[in-house]
Amino acid sequence: MNLKDHMIWQHWDLPFSRHAHEVLKVIDAKAGEKILDCAIGEGRYAIPMTKIGAQVTGVDNSDFIIEKLTKKIKENNVQINMVKQDLREKLQFEDNTFDTVASLGTMIHVDQYEEVAEEFYRVTRPGGKVIIEFSNRFHITSILEKSYQMIDLSLRGKKFDSRAPIYIRSIAQMKKPFFKKNCSVRTYGFYPILPNSLPVVGTKAGISQYIPGLQYGLKNQTWIHNLCQIVIMEIVKKS
């Protein structure tokens, strides 16, 4: 595999955070629902959804991640159907298969976004929904992250052996594949204006987490979403 296209972090072990809890509230999984978690990672969202009775299928293209998740599945005594696949390829599922298709924290590393979004929509049943989380290109963290990567690649001569490629998009760009679809689109915004984390220094610079209500209390206020660090888009596919 090309590291430029298939980057993972060997010490990836993200804790279940307040943000993860808020994301699960947006997904709102129910017992018996069929859910596709695209780029399932270490199962941060998939495992809790499975524990409430959802039938979760996970897609990932990394042997390392699949091996690590398999251990976590056994530790948590849950069942998750795993499929090894690159999201940029046609998904291995029939049309209208899933109640929910979720892609969380992944689109920032996907170049062929519109084609991938079309596939998410195709495998979602009428009445079901697509949940896509992404980093807003107009937030200061996205600008800094992209700038830092450009410095790494151009000036410091680094390659993608320690950093994944980054593609940042606006809310309008994220909505584009769904403009002419028979669906409704809703957004949720997190970390408005002030960042929860910054490139290099990470969450230690998370100014907003020290201000009560600022991180999550405004997530339904659409007027402020263009100023948010993280945006979740919920696409409901109509019959």
What CATH number is given to the structural domain containing 42? 3.40.50.150
Helix (H) or strand (E) holding 59: strand 55-60
pLDDT by residue (tens digit) across 30-60?
999 999 999 998 899 999 999 999 999 999 9
Identify the CA nearest to 54 among candidates 73, 80, 23, 77. 80
Strands 124-135 and 228-237: antiparallel
Asked if the structure places residue 10 within a domain, the reply is: no
pTM for the full predicted model: 0.82
Two tokens, residue 227: 């100023």
DSSP state of 223: G
Asked if the structure places residue 7 within a domain, the reply is: no
Residues with Cβ within 8 Å of 192's Cβ and at least 6 positions away in sequence, in order, are 208, 214, 218, 224, 225, 227, 228, 229
| Per-residue pLDDT at 159 | 56
Q: What is the mean pLDDT of the chain?
A: 82
Residue type, 128: G
| Per-residue pLDDT at 177 | 96
Q: How many domains does the chain have?
A: 1
Asked if the structure places residue 8 within a domain, the reply is: no
Residue type, 126: P
Buried-state track 169-181, b at ≥16 Cβ within 10 A, e below 16: bebeebbebbeee
Asked if the structure places residue 116 within a domain, the reply is: yes
DSSP state of 136: B
Domain that holds residue 165: 18-237
More confident residue, 197 or 18: 18
